[in-house]
């Protein structure tokens, strides 16, 4: 070999072997590549770990509390939040709490529990076994037996991870009844069942926060902290070997030397660039949703377990959990009238990135196949969060009382940095110098979505 490829081109050769003095350069490249792959693998766990720090360190929540995201500003740190439905949730370490009891009241709620790999452990509320009748659920960490004497009316849920998220939303449109449902939810350690402490509802209260994965060494610090209390999946053992090479081991402090700090810092930047390409320019087999449109299925995971046909969905998982948080089977509905469906537009109709300094339109044909409602939402490409402008509005949809509807039932949405002369109630403001992308959500998708007979227009750049 006379020439080495890419980043290894600087390595000098001594015949068929690298020069002894350049072996360190080869190992630097090896560790860089390991770190890039670990970055992609760890995205869902670091995302939840970051979000948990915001709950506990910024909002002052504890393991007895739930955090409610109600206003637009509350949600600005939440990756690809919908701008319509309140979120109520928190994160828990079952090694600290022990078996955890969740009490849901009877009524229209939808919720569930997931581990930090964002695999759904189980649904609660109308989509769960209680079918909206409420009741108590006992969540157990892996390997933990059901305690003696558990009442028969308590459902038992075995988590796939020690670290979990519990979240739910109310489905009652009446604000007073919805508030009563939220106030009736309780969460507490099973050991405190005879006299459980009150469950507080905590709010961000306008405090600045960020739920997107951090860069630099902070990414690796969060991953190290998460790993200390988490069980090891058999499928992840090779990645744990990579972690060891990168100075991340269970029971040992994370103290990278100067060389490793440099490699990890560079790899977090390179890994994120790979994540952006993997998310915003998806190259999975699914292609676009319609052959002559740019819209794609945003969720490329086949199922919540992240298991494909003959492989685990590593890059599909990295794609979704870089641009979003949480996944349940209901979010990728296969049944008309049930759950949700998400389409993503990352470019305009010409295939160019969506530019916050340009003007665009989106034509939404009449009779959108959504049983409940539909919405189109704008997200900042850098943060993947709701766009933050003085308009404090990131979406338009069928629930908007002021939405202007054309005579034929269709709707034309407008996106751009300046308000239009007409149709301002259909407009979402964007930010010059920043790219954006959009989700089109179908709540209760109907047959016209599944058979693709109803076709959404592309986002088209226009001159005003």
Q: Mean pLDDT of all residues in the chain? A: 95
Each residue's pLDDT tens digit, 431-452: 999 999 999 999 999 999 999 9
pLDDT confidence of 2, banded at 50, 70, 90? Answer: low
Q: Tell me what percent of the residues of the chain surpass a pLDDT of 70.
A: 100
- Nearest CA to 206 out of 391, 72, 389 is that of 72
Q: Where, residue-wise, is CATH 2.60.120.600 in the chain? A: 282-462
CB 377 within 8 A of CB 438: yes
**pLDDT, position 1:** 52
Q: Answer yes or no: CATH 3.40.50.150 is held by domain 25-50+213-278.
A: no
**pTM of the predicted model as reported, rounded to 2 decimal places:** 0.94
pLDDT confidence of 4, banded at 50, 70, 90? Answer: confident
**Distance from C-alpha of 170 to C-alpha of 444, rounded to nearest angstrom:** 16
51 contact partners, CB below 8 Å, separation of at least 6: 91, 211, 325
Which residue stretches of 211-313 are H helix? 216-228, 237-245, 258-280
pLDDT confidence of 169, banded at 50, 70, 90? Answer: confident
**pLDDT, position 286:** 86
**pLDDT, position 185:** 95
- What is the CB neighbour count within 10 angstroms for residue 56? 16
pLDDT confidence of 58, banded at 50, 70, 90? Answer: very high
CB 295 within 8 A of CB 458: yes
**Distance from C-alpha of 202 to C-alpha of 220, rounded to nearest angstrom:** 28
Q: Tell me what percent of the residues of the chain surpass a pLDDT of 90.
A: 88
**pLDDT, position 109:** 86
CA angle 291, 298, 358 (to 5 degrees): 80
In this prediction, residues 223-252 reach a mean pLDDT of 96
Bridge partner residues of 439 (DSSP): 344, 377
**Distance from C-alpha of 68 to C-alpha of 41, rounded to nearest angstrom:** 29
CA angle 232, 234, 238 (to 5 degrees): 90
**Distance from C-alpha of 390 to C-alpha of 217, rounded to nearest angstrom:** 33
**pLDDT, position 85:** 80
**Distance from C-alpha of 362 to C-alpha of 460, rounded to nearest angstrom:** 6
What Cα–Cα distance (Å) separates residue 166 from each residue in 93, 162, 183, 413?
11, 13, 16, 35
Which residue stretches of 54-174 are H helix? 94-97
DSSP state of 232: P
pLDDT at 3 over 80: no
**Distance from C-alpha of 464 to C-alpha of 461, rounded to nearest angstrom:** 10
Q: Encoding tokens for residue 182?
A: 């939220």
What is the CATH architecture assignment of 62-202? Sandwich (2.60)
**pLDDT, position 287:** 86
Each residue's pLDDT tens digit, 337-358: 988 999 999 999 999 999 999 9
In this prediction, residues 6-10 reach a mean pLDDT of 89
pLDDT at 84 over 90: no
**pLDDT, position 128:** 85
Each residue's pLDDT tens digit, 191-224: 999 999 999 999 999 899 999 999 999 999 999 9
Q: Encoding tokens for residue 411?
A: 């709707």
**Distance from C-alpha of 259 to C-alpha of 342, rounded to nearest angstrom:** 43
Each residue's pLDDT tens digit, 351-402: 999 999 999 999 999 999 999 999 999 999 999 999 999 999 999 999 999 9
CB 18 within 8 A of CB 229: no
What is the CATH architecture assignment of 282-462? Sandwich (2.60)
Using DSSP's 3-state secondary structure scheme, residue 178 falls into: helix
Q: Where, residue-wise, is CATH 2.60.40.1610 in the chain? A: 62-202
């Amino acid at each position: 070999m006379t020439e080495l490829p890419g980043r290894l081109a600087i390595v000098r050769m001594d015949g068929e072997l690298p020069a002894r003095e350049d072996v360190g350069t080869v190992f630097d490249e090896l560790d860089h590549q390991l770190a890039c792959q670990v970055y992609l693998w760890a995205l869902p766990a670091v995302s939840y770990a970051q979000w948990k720090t915001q709950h506990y360190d910024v909002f002052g929540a504890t393991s007895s509390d739930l955090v409610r995201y109600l206003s637009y500003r509350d949600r600005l740190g939440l990756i690809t939040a919908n701008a319509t439905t309140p979120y109520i949730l928190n994160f828990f370490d079952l090694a600290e709490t022990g078996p955890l009891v969740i009490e849901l009241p009877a009524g229209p709620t939808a919720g569930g529990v997931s581990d930090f790999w964002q695999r759904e452990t189980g649904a609660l509320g109308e989509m769960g076994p209680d079918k909206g009748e409420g009741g108590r659920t006992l969540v157990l960490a892996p390997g933990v037996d059901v305690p003696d004497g558990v009442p028969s009316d308590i459902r038992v849920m075995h988590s796939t991870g020690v670290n979990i998220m519990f979240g739910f939303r109310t489905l009652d449109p009446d604000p007073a009844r919805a508030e009563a449902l939220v106030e009736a939810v309780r969460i507490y350690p099973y050991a405190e069942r005879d006299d459980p402490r009150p469950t507080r509802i905590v709010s961000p209260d306008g405090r600045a926060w960020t739920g997107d994965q951090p860069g630099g060494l902070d990414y690796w610090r969060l991953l190290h902290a998460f790993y200390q209390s988490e069980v090891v999946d058999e499928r992840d053992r090779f990645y744990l070997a990579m972690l060891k090479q990168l100075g991340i081991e269970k029971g040992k402090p994370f103290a990278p030397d100067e060389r490793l700090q440099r490699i990890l810092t560079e790899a977090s930047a390179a890994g994120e660039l790979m994540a952006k390409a993997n998310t915003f320019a998806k190259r999975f087999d699914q292609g676009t949703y319609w052959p002559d449109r740019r819209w794609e299925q945003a969720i490329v995971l086949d199922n919540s377990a992240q298991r494909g046909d003959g492989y685990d969905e590593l890059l599909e998982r990295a794609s979704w959990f870089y641009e979003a948080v949480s996944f349940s089977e209901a979010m990728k509905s296969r049944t008309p009238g049930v759950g949700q469906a998400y389409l993503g537009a990352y470019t305009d109709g010409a295939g160019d990135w969506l530019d916050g300094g340009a003007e665009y339109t989106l034509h939404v044909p009449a009779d959108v196949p959504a049983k409940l409602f539909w919405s189109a939402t704008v997200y900042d490409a850098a943060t993947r969060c709701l766009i933050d402008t003085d308009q404090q509005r990131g979406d338009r949809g069928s629930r908007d009382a002021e939405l202007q509807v054309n005579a034929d039932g269709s709707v034309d949405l407008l996106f751009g940095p300046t308000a239009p002369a007409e149709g301002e109630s259909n407009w979402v403001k964007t930010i010059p110098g920043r790219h954006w992308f959009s989700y089109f959500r179908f709540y209760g998708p109907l047959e016209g979505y599944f058979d693709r007979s109803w076709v959404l227009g592309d986002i088209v750049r226009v001159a005003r």
